[in-house]
Amino acid sequence: MKKVILFADTGIDDMIALTYALKHPEVDLIGVVSGYGNIDREKALRNVEYLLELAERTDIPVIAGATRPLSGDDPVFFPDIHGAEGLGPVRPPIPEERYANRTNFSKLFQLIKANRNEVIIVNVGRCTSLAIAHYLSPEVMADVKETYLMGGAFNEPGNATEVAEANFFGDPIAANYVCQHTANLTVVPLNVTREALLTPREVNLIDSRSDSPLEELIKPILDFYYEVYQQLEPGITGTPLHDLAALMAALDIPGLFEYKKREVTVEHQGEFAYGESIADFRPGTSDCFGPNCVRIAMEIDQDIFVADVLEILTNHR
Ligand code: BDR
Ligand code: CA
């Protein structure tokens, strides 16, 4: 079993990654850190709590993540893409009081210490909470086995700006810090996640097999997301499941990705390329090695992606 802690900004593709983690027979989801990003932190926390409640998994601790980027700037949210509450058309009931399983960073460190060299962190939102964890307790974070980030766009258009992807753009200081202070780091950028598509037909197939309140949310949420993406990228054939792709990288699915290893810098000072992810892919460069070396997913096999997603999301676990 892979012991996973998910760091999310629980919007639509985060929700799909969470659902997949809960349904995957090889994944033991031992905690979720939920912070600002697609929506504000309170909504992101509430969404996780709501989804875990639907899945009858309120035993999983929910850790309150960051509320704003390390620059101190006000965060920018994306209700147009993820819906007013972050889950498309779904409006989770507002809890009258905090859920019992909500906790703070001390729980995160406790989970890592209790599972030394076993924890896999999958960060699918802004990198702020993860950077804070590394800054606060590098000795505990050294016991994390592997880290996966959904973020960046290498030599490709971004989705937040011409050159920057939303997670890295949302807090480039944190993204840069994490890229330069994390051992065994894999980055899963837009280069592959924009091809991690699920078509409406495949969503309908998942829906026809759904047999729990959590699974029944998949179709309305992904239908909403598809409509948004059709406006953003006319002609797109499905919904890109960015965050799910990053989680799947952690599962070593044979043939799913091809990787290159490079040192990564995230531009966090410049005026024109703020949030851009930079690595050296010039001809003649090759895989790096050493502590600052990052594995970057560069190619995805769409058939393997779809087959795996359908298998996991239609099982009856
Ligand atoms: C990333 O940004 C967020 O909006 C998504 O949830 C995903 O993590 C895609 O760039
Ligand atoms: Ca996300």
Res. 93 pLDDT band, cuts 50 70 90: confident
Which atom of ligand 1 lies nearest, measured to the CA of 13? 6
Q: Give the DSSP per-residue string, the chain.
A: -EEEEEEE--SHHHHHHHHHHHH-TTEEEEEEEE-SSSS-HHHHHHHHHHHHHHTT-TTS-EEE--SS-TT-PPP---HHHH-TTSSTT--PPPPSS--TTEE-HHHHHHHHHHTTTTEEEEE-S-SHHHHHHHHH-HHHHTT--EEEEE---SSS--SSSSSB-HHHHH-HHHHHHHHHH-SSEEEE-HHHHTT-EE-HHHHHHHHHH--STTGGGHHHHHHHHHHHHHHHSTT--SEE-HHHHHHHHTTT-TTSEEEEEEE-EE--S-SSSTTBEE----TT-----STTEEEEEEEE-HHHHHHHHHHHHTS--
In this prediction, residue 97 carries a pLDDT of 59
Query: Ligand 1, from 19, 81, 150: best to mutate by most atoms within 8 Å of Cβ?
Result: 150
- How buried is 96 (Cβ within 10 angstroms: 0-12 exposed, 13-18 middle, 19+ buried)? exposed
- pTM for the full model? 0.97
Structural domains of the chain, with CATH: 2-313 (3.90.245.10)
| Cα 128 to middle of ligand 2, angstroms | 13
Mean pLDDT across 308-313: 97
pLDDT value at 140 more than 90: yes
| Cα 2 to middle of ligand 1, angstroms | 23
The 10s digit of each residue's pLDDT in 245-273 is 999 999 999 999 999 999 999 999 988 99
pLDDT value at 112 more than 80: yes
- How buried is 303 (Cβ within 10 angstroms: 0-12 exposed, 13-18 middle, 19+ buried)? exposed
| Cα 13 to middle of ligand 2, angstroms | 6
In this prediction, residue 99 carries a pLDDT of 63
What's the Cα-to-Cα distance from 130 to each of 82, 96, 115, 150, rounded to whole Å?
22, 29, 18, 13
Contact 279, 189 (CB under 8 A): no
47 alpha carbon, distance to own chain's centre: 15
| Cα 1 to middle of ligand 1, angstroms | 26
The 10s digit of each residue's pLDDT in 38-92 is 999 999 999 999 999 999 999 999 999 999 999 999 999 999 999 999 999 999 9
- Residue 303 and residue 209: Cα distance in Å, rounded? 20
| Identified catalytic residue from 24, 82, 134, 242 | 242
Mean pLDDT across 279-286: 96
Pocket of ligand 1 (CB under 6 A): 11, 13-14, 38, 78, 124-125, 150, 159, 165-167, 242-243
Interface predicted TM-score (ipTM) of this complex, two decimals? 0.98
The 10s digit of each residue's pLDDT in 114-135 is 999 999 999 999 999 999 999 9
Query: Ligand 1, from 6, 7, 14, 38: best to mutate by most atoms within 8 Å of Cβ?
Result: 38
In this prediction, residue 291 carries a pLDDT of 85
pLDDT value at 96 more than 60: no
Which atom of ligand 1 lies nearest, measured to the CA of 81? 4
Res. 103 pLDDT band, cuts 50 70 90: confident
